[in-house]
Structure 1
Amino acid sequence: MNTGNYMSSEKSKARKLVSSPYAWGVLGLLTLIYISSFVDRQIIAVLAPQIQQELSLSNFQVGLLYGTAFSLIYAVCGIPMGRMADIYSRRVMIVGGLLVWSLMTLVSGYAVSLTFLIVARFFVGISESALSPAVYSLLSDYFHSSQRGTVFSIYAAGIFVGIGVAFLGGGTVAQAYDWRMALRVVGAPGLLLAAIAWLVIRELPRGITQGGRRYNTVMSFREVIRYILHKKTVRYHFLGFSFLAFTGYTILGFIGIVLTDIHGASSMVPQYGWFMMATGLSVVASGKMADWMARRWDASRRFVMGIVAGLAGLPLYYFGLFAESATTAFMLIGLANVISSSYNGVAAAILQYLVKPDMRAQAGGLYLFVISVVGFGVGPPLAGWLMDAVFTGPYGPAKALMLVFSCCGILASLCFLKAMRTYSQDKEQD
């Protein structure tokens, strides 16, 4: 067999799949997998009161279970998982990760101790860190480069649909039965989804949408990291979207305190899941708008949607946080959250234009590491310290959150303006 002709034939077949109905079907399947990952990730926060009561856990232990046991290992593993996805089969990493986190969530329903739950969450964090870097790389080959803003935003919408399902569905099951049944119910579907994904998803040649040009694949792990971070646009990108993640994780972590401590409306907290579902729509709209602006003007204009996310929600946050009515606060803060979290798909899409095809997964892992450490690791603790030590009184939490959101929105927008200026010189040839 002529190997050269065989490879050429395989690439020709692969190009026919780009942006095809099959590619859109795979996008839908990957989005369902992403929804599953966020349901399994967020469900512990929803079930925390029941788990705490049955296992006699302190607030610190609950925080350890929900945050540290997952977020630290997820952030750290994202970078090497990205490297593996650039070298090995992305399909295997996606399906393997889905199997592990679904199984670990399911068996968590049989936990009899905090140690059991922490170990399970540890493996959930490792396995989920394999997903998005591999998906970012795969979707860049499944779709034409001009569609990435839209495509990545559809995928990113799974974040908020998953959180919404965890709040609404997981909470409902827990109320009807108990926390153990809720964990089993949300974990089991992932096993079926893994079987479907294995049969449906195909591995495509890397860089197929770039016309099949060859790229250097012998760079070391350290050389790839250095190459990615050497670009000013990437550094501004990471910093700017970290500020937006800071806002997103913080409001999600403290919306319960705002509604309960300021307004005495704890019954409204589970219903906040509906705003998470709506945010999925805003993420998709933001991606479509980013692609439209890229076609209408130039590709650097995709960063404008980051500026919109950083600034447009601030007036709503202000009037919502300082509202006298619980209903007004609930509605305005929720709408502000819908706007300020709309950047998620655009952020991942822009990064794909700034690195070579055989670096996309590692760049995605590095991005997830940065926003997880800054957003999840720094945001809520800093906001909590401001509430405890700086701002007091009935509206102390509101003052602390408004300061955080304002600073993050302004600083993020400045980073994006800088990134737009350097984009043309850092962009890879498409």
Structure 2
Amino acid sequence: MSLPKEKAKKLVSSPYAWLVLGLLTLIYISSFVDRQIIAVLAPQIQQELSLSNFQVGLMYGTAFSLIYAVCGIPMGRLADIYSRKVMIVVGLIVWSLMTVISGFAGSLASLIIARFFVGISESALSPAVYSLLSDYFRPSQRATVFSIYAAGIFIGIGVAFLGGGTIAQAYDWRTALFVVGAPGLIIAAIAWFAIRELPRGITQTNQRFDTEASFKEVVAYILSKKTIRYHFLGFSFLAFTGYTILGFVGIVLKDIHQSADLIPQYGWFMMATGLSVMVSGKIADWLAQKWDASYRFVMGMVAGLACLPLYYMGLFAESATTALVLIGAANVISSSYNGVAAALLQYLVKPNMRALAGGLYLFVISVVGFGIGPPLTGWLMDTIFTGHYGPAKALMLVFSCCGVLGTLCFWKAMQSYEQDEEQD
């Protein structure tokens, strides 16, 4: 049940609000540890279960993203209607349990089934969080706040590489899954008592919006906006790059450089990416205040293009250490857009549509980025780009196309932003 409006207004941008942001970020970290750990453990799993690169991409990407994408839309609608707190906590419990259960898998099929349930439960998180944070903080803070939350993606991935990868090397991939899944149950208990539900639209100065709109009407309203359509498409291209490099950086280090022992060290660059996400959000809010709100899209352009020279030099490097450093540095840039992408949507939809808009966004980037990116790139490696540097050629082709196409989409989104923006 939501707090009374007068009491809730006192919590907006308060120290307690920042505490809730920290807790939600911790939950997001947990979700990405459990989501990414499969890619970190892929070389061990691939060897034990005799999987091809295509099957690794299927297990890591499609098995999770298909159900995650499909469920994200109804989960978003539910979060616009029912308790966001309940959805967040229940989802956390389920995906933590399913990660632990994954450690008992004896085949590709059983791993895929477990990944399906991780996808279902994690699809409840971000749509609910996007809506909740928009009520906890003022509109002028959104890119900064959402970027702090989005930094949890890369801290979680970093923990998966450093912690999960180290545990797997010391023991095995099954033990790593047991260890990374269990802490989520403790975090869920803390979140249940710490997070308070706020009235929707509490930060709006103009709260005249339709609370009885049907699911179909809300979706139609969201997708009717040209800026949102370009937003979805542009950021899905960037997600294509991000999920693909995460899925195959281990394969690059193992197959090209015979240096699988370096894979856990990639986690340090994920930690650095968490910082770049926060910096990107702060710059986006500064650009919006100094010039125009549509300039937040510039950070997407930077993410799509500035990384390409580093990716090229890293993928075709002669030494494993050089490859690790340059690919890691490129990822720090190419994934810096995450918080800005989520924040931008909040300016384009009404308060009672925020979670569903987040669900639609996650649907698109999951299908294109997570669902298509890793298996398509794995197929390119297996069939088109063979030879010693075949993985590097496949990855560079993918990254170049996505960076250019994403930038074009952001430029188009900036042209229509003013007419599509909702007034707070």
TM-score by length of 2: 0.94
Q: CA deviation at 1:59?
A: 6.5
Q: CA deviation at 1:277?
A: 1.2
Indicate if the aligned counterparts of 1:11 and 1:212 stay in contact, CA closer than 8 A.
no
Indicate if the aligned counterparts of 2:103 and 2:174 stay in contact, CA closer than 8 A.
yes
Unaligned runs of 5+ in 2: none
Q: Which protein, 1 or 2, shows the higher relative CO under an 8 Å CA cutoff with sep ≥ 6? A: 2
Match of 1:133 among 119, 127, 133: 127
- Higher Cα Rg, which structure: 1
Corresponding residue for residue 398 of structure 1: 392
Corresponding residue for residue 263 of structure 2: 269
Q: Which amino acid aligns with 2:18?
A: W
| Alignment pair present for 1:210 and 2:215 | no
Residues 9/267 of structure 1: CA separation in 2 closer, same or farther (3 Å cut): closer
Counterparts of 1:109 and 1:254 in 2: how far apart (Å)?
A: 21
What do residues 385-413 of structure 1 show as CA deviations (whole Å, max 9, x unaligned)? 43344444433332332222122111111
Counterparts of 2:212 and 2:239 in 1: how far apart (Å)?
A: 33
Counterparts of 1:425 and 1:408 in 2: how far apart (Å)?
A: 27
Identical aligned pairs, as a percentage? 82
Counterparts of 2:315 and 2:55 in 1: how far apart (Å)?
A: 29
Corresponding residue for residue 183 of structure 1: 177
Counterparts of 2:377 and 2:53 in 1: how far apart (Å)?
A: 17
Counterparts of 1:340 and 1:47 in 2: how far apart (Å)?
A: 23
Indicate if the aligned counterparts of 1:243 and 1:412 stay in contact, CA closer than 8 A.
yes
| Alignment pair present for 1:143 and 2:134 | no
Residues 311/50 of structure 1: CA separation in 2 closer, same or farther (3 Å cut): closer
Q: CA deviation at 1:220?
A: 1.3
Corresponding residue for residue 3 of structure 1: none
Where does 1:22-421 land on structure 2 (aligned, <5 Å)? 22-51=16-45, 63-111=57-105, 116-211=110-205, 213-421=207-415
Indicate if the aligned counterparts of 2:65 and 2:119 stay in contact, CA closer than 8 A.
yes
Q: CA deviation at 1:266?
A: 2.5
Q: CA deviation at 1:18?
A: 0.7
What do residues 105-149 of structure 1 show as CA deviations (whole Å, max 9, x unaligned)? 233344566555443322211110000000000000000001111
Counterparts of 2:3 and 2:196 in 1: how far apart (Å)?
A: 16
Q: Which amino acid aligns with 1:96?
A: V
Counterparts of 2:53 and 2:401 in 1: how far apart (Å)?
A: 29
Counterparts of 1:417 and 1:123 in 2: how far apart (Å)?
A: 37
Q: Match of 1:207, SS?
A: coil
What do residues 259-318 of structure 1 show as CA deviations (whole Å, max 9, x unaligned)? 233333332222111111111111011001101111111111100100110111111112
Q: Which amino acid aligns with 2:13?
A: S
Indicate if the aligned counterparts of 2:141 and 2:285 stay in contact, CA closer than 8 A.
yes
Counterparts of 2:42 and 2:321 in 1: how far apart (Å)?
A: 25
Counterparts of 2:264 and 2:284 in 1: how far apart (Å)?
A: 32
Q: Which amino acid aligns with 2:97?
A: L
Counterparts of 1:22 and 1:199 in 2: how far apart (Å)?
A: 13
Q: CA deviation at 1:166?
A: 1.0
Residues 50/230 of structure 1: CA separation in 2 closer, same or farther (3 Å cut): same
Counterparts of 1:311 and 1:215 in 2: how far apart (Å)?
A: 38
Residues 174/421 of structure 1: CA separation in 2 closer, same or farther (3 Å cut): same
Counterparts of 1:170 and 1:394 in 2: how far apart (Å)?
A: 28
Q: Match of 2:41, SS?
A: helix
Q: Which amino acid aligns with 1:290?
A: A
Indicate if the aligned counterparts of 1:302 and 1:346 stay in contact, CA closer than 8 A.
yes
Q: Which amino acid aligns with 1:247?
A: T
Calculate the aligned-residue CA RMSD, in Å: 2.2
- How many residues are matched? 424
Q: CA deviation at 1:160?
A: 0.9
Indicate if the aligned counterparts of 2:97 and 2:182 stay in contact, CA closer than 8 A.
yes
Q: Match of 1:17, SS?
A: coil
Q: Which amino acid aligns with 1:361?
A: A
Q: Which amino acid aligns with 1:44?
A: I
What do residues 299-349 of structure 1 show as CA deviations (whole Å, max 9, x unaligned)? 111001001101111111122222223222221111011100000010000
Q: CA deviation at 1:52?
A: 5.5
Q: Which amino acid aligns with 1:132?
A: S
Match of 1:13 among 7, 17, 28: 7
TM-score by length of 1: 0.93
Indicate if the aligned counterparts of 2:294 and 2:418 stay in contact, CA closer than 8 A.
yes
Residues 251/13 of structure 1: CA separation in 2 closer, same or farther (3 Å cut): same
